[in-house]
Structure 1
Amino acid sequence: MGRPVVVLGGGISGLAACFHLTRGARPPKVVLVEASERLGGWIHSVRGPDGAVFELGPRGIRPAGELGARTLLLVSELGLESEVLPVPGHHPAARNRFLYVDGSLHALPSGLRGLLRPSPPFSKPLLWAGLRELTAPRSKDPDETVHSFALRRLGPEVASLAMDSLCRGVFAGNSQELSIRSCFPSLFQAEQSHRSVLLGLLLGAGKRPQPDSALIQKARAERWSQWSLRGGLETLPQALDAYLTSKGVTILRGQPACSLTLEAGGFWKVSLGDSSLEANHVISAVPAPVLSQLLPLKAAPLASTLATITAVSVAVVNLQYQGAQLPVQGFGHLVPSSEDPGVLGIVYDSVAFPEQDGSPPGLRVTVMLGGSWLHALEAGGQVLSQEVLGQLAQEAAATQLGLKEPPSRCLVHLHQNCIPQYTLGHWQKLEMVTRFLAAQKLPLTLAGASYEGVAVNDCIESGRQAAIHVLGADPNS
């Protein structure tokens, strides 16, 4: 069969790449190399003694759009349909999202009535921001920050409250540094194509053919906003692990790659410390800065570009309370940086997925801390202990949600460099990477959150695209 395709990184991107490699007409031999002892990367679910499920990483997946449908297709192909916990469109967790501003929770406006009347913390009806957006001129710049884009098209309040919070919620990042073109490509493209984001989103939707299955149809009919799996999202990587093993994929755990050397015959030598592998092609699903350290001298220009795609750390604090109630029902709330630089937001896990509350059921919320604030502390050499992070999270839950009693459980996990930051000009880095790989004819394909999307759906799609590229480019593998 010749040399295998080696996939570096057993997070969801690497697992998806392996899955799709095995689905080819002539599947190559595949070896998955993972530095840690467990697969799944940032997707990590733990179960409490009472049966409650705590997500240490992502906690729900959006079914919307082509990529959302593709992930549901994967769920069906793995036989997990009966495990899916959906959040239908009429559910409070689908309808209600909040901002915490000036010491109070404010429901984000929804529906026409919400747009026509002033809804705090916004001083004017959001209809005015919409009308402003329809008449704002198109930018001629190839990229701009999310803040600058929102300020220009939607006004200062939407920029400093809504978009600032959104960037913190999705990227744990700073809207004044993140790129609109790379972080929210649909908004950027809508302005470029139709001169208006609102018109572009209305007119540009639904043009591409969508994957279809019974589960996808159910999600559309019930207007799911998100979904999880009964035993937690880690069920997905665990099912992929079992599937890949059944297909003869070699999975090497606890084996960090040390270096990649391009041999005279045009194949890779992958050094793993005590041993090494030969590979016809490498799919790298490890973070860009990690890959930059592995590349040979010949690929120095590529390595230096990859090293600039940095990431921020996030502390995820899972709290469980007995006999407590939330002041509101919804998905959760975000916190703009002007309100609290450290707390990114709080997710109300029990509202969306009460099936995971355990017995007797306890109220579960997750406090997210980190981003730029944590990055500044780390840069200054300051390390926050688990105790301090747990205390900050409990204070946020008490202040922002009125959960004054001590929690029955407090799980603190600091995820180092977990969310890549697509800063201004990120698209140029990706263009340079593509050009270099093509010019040097390197048998290397990149996947993962470092490049074109940090959500679970994006990562799964990046693995699928990498597999398609390898199967098309390397018929002898």
Structure 2
Amino acid sequence: MQKTVVVIGGGISGLSTCYYLSKNSQSSKIILLEANKRLGGWMHTIRREDGAVFEQGPRAIRPAGVIGRNTLKMVSELGLENEILPVTAENPASRNRFLFVNGKLQKLPSSPVAALKATPPFSKSIFHSILEEIFVKRGTLDDESVHGFVERRLGKELADIAIDSLCRGVFAGDCRKLSMRSCFPPLFHAERKHGSITLGMVLGARMKEESDVKQNRLVQQSRKEHWSQWSLKQGLQTLAESLEDHLRNTDRVEIHQEAAVQQIQMGREGAWEVHVEGGRFKADYIVSAVQAKVLSSMLPPAAQPLAEELQKISPASVAVVNLEYDGLVLPVTGFGHLIPSTENRAVLGIVYDSDAFPEHNRKGPPSTRLTVMMGGAWFTEEFGSPEEADRTRLLHVAVQAVKSHLNVKEMPSWSNVNVHKDCIPQYLVGHWKCLDNIWSLIEQHRLPLSLVGASYEGVSVNDCIFGGKRAAERLLGN
């Protein structure tokens, strides 16, 4: 008997789940429900007629690790190999990364030799901090903040400047509240197992590679050329569009857009009823690919304990301001720079898009593309509620940051301001326990339900795609 799987949410997590389900099973009917007009979620690209490409969401994907190789394998399967734009080792965006500290740009060490010397804004070398770390006592807490962990093992200076900036760049979050165990699990478990993150990373065994991924030509190319990241010629939205096209070309996936789920209920004989405006769908199994707090509002009253756990996973909002300047206006070349919260709470970082992907510049005279990221965990205190944030003020703050940090006196010739409400889940201290409670409740009540997406075990595009794959594999294994 054919079973029906309903996937709620058509972002990259939901699309990936449908892709792996449709690819590996002939016995299930798959229904994808998306609340908005378009699929792809935060993966959204502006493509101007003059050839310029601007990312409003994720702008690049890392090829490293099992999850990075898995995404490259998907790209190959979708026929996008010729669309890849790699950032190779020779590109300044691979080598040069900066912090804006004490009112000036500071280049981070980019080689082992550079790590041997003390370079501003740090008073001692990173190598010296690593040597001292080996002799620090093993931690005993079940979890602790990222800042607390790094301060304890590597020193206050690195925690206050480098780690604070890194957490703002990756999670748009406050390292004094974010969980080390959930945000950086390899480092947390390296210390717990080996007593030192340095020894743990040296001695720890690498995850076994899947043979089909290992043999993939694109993966081999990324290693040979030492890619640090990659995009696509028409932006990352191309990946979501290709997944959508693939799903529409199979007769086993039914896609419904503008189909916001209002409630899910347990019907007779253990099957779900998924209610949308004007109708309902019956499902033997549900995969939720929406944020945890969104799912919590859909659950029936009987699932209140699960809803309460899901509500604990709170997201942060980010303002993304795309800027274009006439001419080459940057004083340095590189990936971009991050800003610690002690320097500027409102502005998280500035990405030098033109350096990483010059192919996305407009045709004709030279231009410079930048993206300013703002808000995050500090959004409400700096800009008010995401729904009511003043776009004119957001643009002004972004332009002033470029002027102050990069000495760019010109005004941008083009701009775009976007506020992504609740876009990055915050893994606060204790997140692991919240997840344990969620998985236990689902198992205890034998709910035919899987949860995928950035709310749970990784916020990157790679994490979301790999999570969809694992959910499909678990479901197909049942």
TM interval, short-chain normalised: over 0.9
Q: Which runs of 4+ in 1 moved over 4 A?
A: 377-382
Aligned to 1:23: 23
2:36–2:260 contact (8 Å) kept in structure 1: yes
Q: Deviations over 1:60-91 (max 9, x none)?
A: 00000000000000000000000000001222
Inter-partner Cα distance in structure 2 for 1:117 and 1:338: 24
Aligned to 1:100: 100
2:35–2:261 contact (8 Å) kept in structure 1: yes
Question: SS state of the match for residue 449, structure 1?
Answer: coil
2:66–2:207 contact (8 Å) kept in structure 1: no
**Which aligned pairs between 1:7-406 and structure 2 lie closer than 5 A?**
7-210=7-210, 211-212=213-214, 213-248=216-251, 249-360=253-364, 361-377=366-382, 383-406=388-411
Inter-partner Cα distance in structure 2 for 1:65 and 1:142: 26
Q: Deviations over 1:143-189 (max 9, x none)?
A: 00000001000101100000000000001000000000000111101
Q: Deviations over 1:236-285 (max 9, x none)?
A: 00000000011121110011000000012100000001100000000000
Shift of 1:316: 0.3
Inter-partner Cα distance in structure 1 for 2:110 and 2:233: 29
TM-score, L = length of structure 2? 0.97
Inter-partner Cα distance in structure 2 for 1:127 and 1:246: 53
Inter-partner Cα distance in structure 2 for 1:377 and 1:62: 31
Inter-partner Cα distance in structure 2 for 1:335 and 1:347: 11
Say whether residues 1:420 and 2:425 are aligned partners.
Answer: yes
Shift of 1:379: 6.7
TM-score, L = length of structure 1? 0.97
Inter-partner Cα distance in structure 2 for 1:111 and 1:201: 18
Inter-partner Cα distance in structure 2 for 1:19 and 1:25: 10
1:377–1:383 contact (8 Å) kept in structure 2: no
2:94–2:334 contact (8 Å) kept in structure 1: yes
Gaps of 5+ in 1: none
Q: Deviations over 1:330-385 (max 9, x none)?
A: 11100000000000000000001000001124210100001122133567799421
Change (3 A) 1:264 1:382: closer
Inter-partner Cα distance in structure 2 for 1:138 and 1:23: 45
1:259–1:296 contact (8 Å) kept in structure 2: yes
Task: State the Cα RMSD in Å.
Answer: 1.3
Aligned to 2:467: 462
Question: SS state of the match for residue 265, structure 1?
Answer: helix
1:53–1:232 contact (8 Å) kept in structure 2: yes
1:3–1:278 contact (8 Å) kept in structure 2: no
41-50 vs 249-258, which deviates more? 41-50
Inter-partner Cα distance in structure 1 for 2:54 and 2:451: 31
Inter-partner Cα distance in structure 2 for 1:390 and 1:37: 27
Inter-partner Cα distance in structure 2 for 1:43 and 1:199: 37
The one-letter code of the counterpart of 2:429 is L
Inter-partner Cα distance in structure 1 for 2:78 and 2:322: 29
Question: SS state of the match for residue 410, structure 1?
Answer: strand
67-76 vs 41-50, which deviates more? 41-50
1:324–1:403 contact (8 Å) kept in structure 2: no
Inter-partner Cα distance in structure 2 for 1:381 and 1:75: 34
Residue-pair matches, total: 473
2:317–2:386 contact (8 Å) kept in structure 1: no
- Identical counterparts, % of pairs: 49
